[in-house]
Amino acid sequence: MPALKGQGGRARAAPVRVKAGNHSVAFDSADIEVQTEKSVKITNKYGLHARPAMQFVEIASRFSSDVRLARGDKSADAKSIMEVLMLAAENGADLVIRADGEDAEAAVEALTELVASKFDEE
């Protein structure tokens, strides 16, 4: 993709044009963010109690993407220990890890691996 001169002479990506019927929208390709999600099941004996919740928050906080953890109709900021604990996810709980941003896929993968490892408790 050709680079264009941006503010201060810095190169920036060329705009992307999307057509739908008679409409066309242009936007900067640098504004494109990835959204990804994955379903997981809590399988460690005591569920997502304080220690594993803190591990989850610490890993989620390493990423610039917006990371959310959902249980049914409840959704929590995965970077907030209080919100994660409020999900009360016991053993067997089905959760969805969602991330929006440039490193969304890496965030979801890292958190999925943490859950699969049973938070190194067993």
**Catalytic residue numbers, as ranges:** 49
Tell the residue number behind the tokens 């002479």, with chain if given.
Answer: 9
Residue 86's closest CA among 45, 50, 32? 50
CB neighbour list of residue 97: distance below 8 Å, 6 or more residues apart: 37, 38, 39, 40, 67, 68, 69, 78, 107, 108, 111, 112, 115
The DSSP code for 118 is G
